[in-house]
Structure 1
Amino acid sequence: MTVADQLQAAIHAPGVTPLAFGLAFVAGAGHAVTPGHGKSLAAAYLVGSRGRVRDAAWLGGSVAAMHTLSVLVIGLAWTFLSLSDLIRMQDLTRWLELAAGLLVVGTGLWLFRRHSHSHASGHSHDHHHDHGRRPGLLVLGASGGLTPSPAAFLVLVTGLFLGRAGFALLLVLVFGAGMAVVLFGVGLLAIGGSTVVTRGARTHAALRLATRAAPLLAAAGITLFGAGLTTVAAIQLTA
């Protein structure tokens, strides 16, 4: 039995099972570990924007918040507004993936413009980067959490049907916390690696060049990745 199946069984069981919250956390962490959930984008953004620990926390938190909101809105619409009569879940997911891809493209272009301006002016605008970094973090986080996990969605819908909406919502919140912890950890690793390279750049010319090019390369990579996500989603929608 998979973790998702165990969560479904927990919804049917009487009372509030503490083990269910542990399973929800593990399921959320596992969901974040699977390919295509923004880990590479998060790392690229934090390296390219010279992020700090609090930026990694903001990114992980925004993904979790957006994922919880997405599951909640779609689950309520699916259960009470007959959304299932209007669109198949597969098609809805593809539309959300298309929107997420466009958000990523927008974030990448915004980053590229900021860093291009910084290079052209000849200095880094560190103070302004501190204040201007957060909008990009939130948009990238929103794109990462826009498409809901099928497991979290089924848990919420099942809870709504069984009259255990509060318990189901708590499980979805814990699921999002599991995602946030994994992405926060990825962010810390990216920041740590970037710090090591930056320190080495003080004595190595090649590393110094790499640190100067990293922001633009990260912005270009994010833009291309978003373009790929958008293209794939568009092809699937028209197939």
Structure 2
Amino acid sequence: MNNKTRRLITLGLLTCFALVVWLGMASPSQAHWADMAAAEVLVGERHTQMTLTFPTGLAAFADSDRNGQLSASEVAEHRLELRNFLAQQIRITDTDNRQGTLTVKATDGATVSSSALTAPNTHSTLTLNYAWAAPVKGLTIYYDLFLPEVSTASCLTTILQAGQLKTFVFTPNRRHLAIAPGLGDYTLGGILLAIAGALAWGALHSMSPGHGKSIVGAYLVGERATAKHALFLALVTTVTHTIGVFALGIVTLFAANYILPEQLYPWLSLVSGLMVAAIGFNLFRSRFKLNRNRRSAHSHHGHSHHAHEHPHDHAHGHSHDHTHDHTHGHAHGHSHDHGHTSSHSHVPSDQPVTWRSLLALGISGGLVPCPAALVLLLSSIALGNVGIGLLLLVAFSVGLAGVLTGLGLLLVYAKHLFKRVPTHLRLVKFLPVISAVGITLIGFGISARALVQISAF
């Protein structure tokens, strides 16, 4: 292999490792807050109300004191500007394409969705009322309130119409939603459609930075993992995430006056980060020791082999026939040993995966609830549909787990490609140690970010 090819392989491995670390250390704005909004929509015959929580920067003209949140006085002062702005960005029309008359006001108290979503000094919540002179049969919502040039921007919308709960995610590529006339009671088709939407939303949302992908990837790359290990790790992460969202939802509903979710998130992140760092350090220590012992054993084997050669060459120089027989046997033995050594060092051989380490890593990865899932659950509860909310939460978590499982299986089976990598490429031999360092750095990054958020309160 020439130097150019070796450099390309090394650069590729380093790039993959850097991407894993970046995903794990993504800032809150990259992972959740700055690109996310939430809306609760109550549809009536002549009136439709939207409670919207959105990044304040999109309406910075109304933030007079520049504190990142719109107060009631600022909303009153800029009411006309806000109405004209939002009437263009969020249009709700009837079947005859008539837009409802819009009024904007500050929200009286925090809604459950805004409490779950609002990060310190980033979001504001407004109430938008749309009215028509006559009863409407169907509505179309056009939503275009996104941060520019942010492909991951989205608005998780929960809609209650005639006792029916619906969910929809507005994105830069999905700006329109048609709402058919209310059907009254829940239908099986409507529930299945809502579950499918939550499942897809969980899968899509997991593509954004964070959500444990880097931790799962860094761990499985450096361990002797199998498909069942990848499935177990994704399952533990999903169950922990679901329980965490439900627990935090209960706290939000019954202890909102004492504990706010945005104050709990940093502490949960700190605990999660410290757990990940501890796991990573323990992996680094064991893998480094194993790698050092392997090199020591290899060096010792090579020395003994050389010592074995010398006395045989010296001792069998007296007889041609005997020397020929010995040389033939020795060549065969040398070829066998060399081939075995080369094959053995193609793939880093680590200690077996332990279920305890998988359990600990899965719990730490799913410990911090995803704000999108929390908004989904609390919006459903606020609209009086606890059972549907729990069902949608499970579907969301399953969608998120599907991506983690796919990533885990991909990494498990992709490790066979390392058998084709040259044995003298030192980076491959140290890949388990490097992945352990990556897990440790990810843990420290999560903890440091959490400490910064805690100090902001």
Q: By the TM > 0.5 criterion, same fold?
A: yes
TM-score tier, shorter chain, comes to 0.7 to 0.9
Q: Greater helix percent: which structure?
A: 1
Is the contact between residue 159 and residue 166 of structure 2 (CA under 8 Å) also seen in structure 1? yes
Q: Distance in 2 between matches of 1:5 and 1:56?
A: 33
1:26 paired residue number = 200
Measured after TM superposition, the shift of residue 222 of structure 1 is: 0.7
Task: Compute the TM-score of the two structures, normalised by the length of structure 2.
Answer: 0.47
Alignment of 1:3-152 (within 5 A): 4-6=156-158, 9-10=165-166, 14-15=185-186, 17-79=191-253, 81-82=254-255, 84-122=256-294, 129-130=352-353, 132=354, 134-152=355-373
2:206 alignment partner, SS class: helix
Distance 1:136 1:31, change over 3 A: farther
Q: Distance in 1 between matches of 2:388 and 2:155?
A: 17
Is the contact between residue 270 and residue 451 of structure 2 (CA under 8 Å) also seen in structure 1? yes
Task: Give unpaired runs (5+ residues) of structure 2.
Answer: 1-142, 144-153, 168-181, 298-347
Is the contact between residue 101 and residue 229 of structure 1 (CA under 8 Å) also seen in structure 2? yes
1:206 paired residue number = 424
Q: Distance in 2 between matches of 1:43 and 1:7?
A: 37
Distance 1:106 1:121, change over 3 A: same
Of structures 1 and 2, the one scoring higher in RCO (CA 8 A, sep 6+) is 1
The one-letter amino acid paired with 1:69 is I
The one-letter amino acid paired with 2:375 is L
Measured after TM superposition, the shift of residue 34 of structure 1 is: 0.7
Measured after TM superposition, the shift of residue 30 of structure 1 is: 1.8
1:23 alignment partner, SS class: helix
Task: Compute the TM-score of the two structures, normalised by the length of structure 1.
Answer: 0.86
Q: Distance in 1 between matches of 2:412 and 2:159?
A: 34
Alignment of 1:210-225 (within 5 A): 210-225=427-442
The one-letter amino acid paired with 2:246 is L
Measured after TM superposition, the shift of residue 48 of structure 1 is: 0.8
Distance 1:125 1:210, change over 3 A: closer
The one-letter amino acid paired with 1:233 is A
Question: What do residues 10-37 of structure 1 show as CA deviations (whole Å, max 9, x unaligned)?
Answer: 2798415211111111111122111022
Q: Distance in 2 between matches of 1:227 and 1:32?
A: 22
Q: Distance in 2 between matches of 1:59 and 1:7?
A: 34
More displaced stretch, 46-55 vs 161-170: 161-170
Distance 1:7 1:112, change over 3 A: farther
Identity %, equivalent residues? 33
Measured after TM superposition, the shift of residue 211 of structure 1 is: 3.5
Q: Greater strand percent: which structure?
A: 2
Is the contact between residue 206 and residue 400 of structure 2 (CA under 8 Å) also seen in structure 1? yes
Question: What do residues 83-125 of structure 1 show as CA deviations (whole Å, max 9, x unaligned)?
Answer: x112222221111111111111011012112213322443888
1:228 paired residue number = 445
Measured after TM superposition, the shift of residue 194 of structure 1 is: 1.7
Task: Give unpaired runs (5+ residues) of structure 1.
Answer: none
Measured after TM superposition, the shift of residue 51 of structure 1 is: 1.6
RMSD of aligned alpha carbons: 2.5
Is the contact between residue 225 and residue 352 of structure 2 (CA under 8 Å) also seen in structure 1? no
Q: Distance in 2 between matches of 1:215 and 1:7?
A: 48
Q: Distance in 1 between matches of 2:205 and 2:362?
A: 15
The one-letter amino acid paired with 1:160 is I
Distance 1:205 1:148, change over 3 A: same
1:169 paired residue number = 390
The one-letter amino acid paired with 1:129 is P
Length, aligned pairs only: 230
Distance 1:125 1:195, change over 3 A: closer
